[in-house]
Amino acid sequence: MELTSVQREILIALIGLFRKKGRSIRGEEIAEVIGRNPGTIRNQMQSLRALQLVDGVPGPKGGYMATSAAYKELDIDTMEYEAHVFVAKNGAEVQNVSVAEIDFTTVAHPDTCSAAIKMIGDTRQFNSGDILQVGPTPVNKLTIRGEVCGRNDTENIIVMMVSEILSLPKTPVAEYTSKKLVVVKGDMTIQQVAKILIDQNIHGAPVTLNNKIVGIISVTDIAKAVAADSKGSAKDIMTRDIISIEDSCPVYDAIKLFDIYNVGRLLVIQNGVPRGLISRSDVLKQIFGFASLS
C-alpha cells in the first residue's frame, strides 16, 4: 500500500513511543513528537485503522497501537525482546531514539565509507555535521562513529560518513588470561617483587597476606615507589581495590570494568577461585595488535 509521508511519520512515532513506554499511545503524544496538531493525528488515525495498520485501545488509559501489518509496511522487525542500541550526538546520548538497522552503503569505495542508519524515533533532531556514535550493538558489540551527511525523515534513515568502526569479540576472558597465577607476598621488598616480575616476564601479580589475596601490584606501582625513594614492602604500594571477573565472561565485560574502575588489571576467577590476571594491555594487544603502558 502507498502511505502518505504524514502517515509514515505517525506510524514511526507510534512504534517508537510504544517501544519506550510499553503501552498504548495517545494521539497527543504522537503530535508532540512529530510537531503536528492533535486533530491531524486523530484524522489520520481513522485512515490508518481502516488500513488495519493501527488498533484503537478504549478506556481512560487507551490510545493507539501499531499492528503487525504496520511493522511489515515500514519494514521493521518485531521481536519479543529488543535491546536498546545507544545513539550519541556530539558527545551526548540522544533520548527516545534507538537503532533498528545499519546498512553500509559504500564498502567498496576506495576513499570513503558511508552507512544508512534506520532509527526508531525522531530523526529530525539530527543535522548535517553532527558527530554521531551508534552502538555498541547487543551481539557483536559493533560501534560506529562518523559525521551526519543526510537524512530521510520519511524512511527514518540517517546517512553518515563513517570515520571509525569497532567490533569487540565474544571471546571469553579466559582466552586473554595469563595461564599461570604468579603471586607475591605482602611483606616482600620492592626489589624482591621486581625480580619475580622480571623472571616471570609479567607486568603485575596479586599480593597475598596469610594466603589471602589482598591487592594487586604492577610494574607501574614499583616504578612510582622507586621514583619516590620508598622503602616499603609490596603491601605498602599495591593497589588494594581488587576488581574481579569470571573467566567465562566476554572480554567486552572486562573492557567495561577497566573503564568503570579506572584499573589496569582484573583478577580472573572461576567459581570464586582465583585463576589469573587479565590486563588492559593483554586485551589491546590481542584485539588491536598494540598495548598500552600499565
- pLDDT of res. 79: 53
Share of the chain residues as helix, strand and coil, in percent rounded to the nearest 5 = 30, 30, 35
Give the alpha-carbon dihedral of 240, 244, 250, 256, to 10 degrees. Answer: -40
Report domain extents, the chain: 5-73, 87-167, 173-288
Architecture field, domain 5-73: Orthogonal Bundle (1.10)
pLDDT at 60: 78
In the CATH scheme, what is the homologous superfamily, with its name and number, of domain 173-288?
CBS-domain (3.10.580.10)
With a pLDDT cut of 90, the percent of the chain lying above it is: 33
Written as nine digits, the cell of 166 is 569497532
- Which residues of the chain carry a pLDDT beneath 70? 77-83, 286-294
Contacts of 31 (CB under 8 A, 6+ apart): 37, 38, 40, 41
pLDDT of 196? 95
User: What pLDDT is stored for residue 294 in this prediction?
Assistant: 44
Give pTM, 2 decimals: 0.52
Query: Which residue shows C-alpha cell 543535522?
Result: 127
Confidence at residue 137, expressed as pLDDT on a 0 to 100 scale: 83
Give residue 129's pLDDT.
95
Q: What pLDDT, on the 0 to 100 scale, is given for residue 82?
A: 57
